[in-house]
Amino acid sequence: MLKGFKQFIVRGNVVDLAVGVVIGAAFGSVVTALVSDLLTPFIAAVAQVPDFSGLSFTVRGSVFMIGHFINALISFVLVAAAVYFFVVLPMNAFMQRMHKEEPVDPSTKKCPECLSEVPKDARRCAFCAQGIV
């Protein structure tokens, strides 16, 4: 029973997922710090609002912290852009290079009459007896 559990844990997928989650959490905290410490004050300076995270409005005693939502939205957009530009695009380019098909010398051609595959050197189609140029 423990042997199967050990094989499950040591398997590459579980370890890769664990590493991805840890790196993702660390990256998320870096982006959150970037948004709250650098971008939000910059946007606040341009918009002439001293503290973005302090923006809120109240409806019947309920406080809606719109500034925190804006920070989270900016953080999400930055994380999504970073993942797309630094992970997805390079992986797509790599996969295209790896799966690039080499041109194959065709050994067959299509019959102009019945569109069946015939050998390249054939002068007549085996299916319809049409002469092939």
pTM of the predicted model as reported, rounded to 2 decimal places:
0.50
pLDDT at 49: 66
79 and 37 together in one domain? yes
121 and 60 together in one domain? no
Neighbour-count burial of 86, counting CB atoms closer than 10 A to its CB (0-12 exposed, 13-18 middle, 19+ buried): exposed
pLDDT at 36: 72
What is the sign, positive or negative, of the torsion defined by CA atoms of 28, 33, 36, 41? negative
86 and 108 together in one domain? no
Cα gap 32→20, rounded to integer Å:
18
60 and 76 together in one domain? yes
CB 79 within 8 A of CB 87: no
pLDDT at 59: 93
52 and 71 together in one domain? yes
pLDDT at 65: 87
Domain with 67 in it: what CATH number?
A: 1.10.1200.120
Structurally, the chain folds into a number of domains equal to 2
Cα-Cα end-to-end distance for the chain: 69
Interval 20-58: pLDDT, tens: 888 888 888 887 787 778 877 787 788 776 666 778 889
pLDDT at 61: 92
7 and 58 together in one domain? yes
80 and 127 together in one domain? no
Interval 82-131: pLDDT, tens: 778 887 898 889 888 888 776 666 888 888 888 888 888 888 888 888 78
**What is the domain range of residue 9?**
2-98
36 and 82 together in one domain? yes
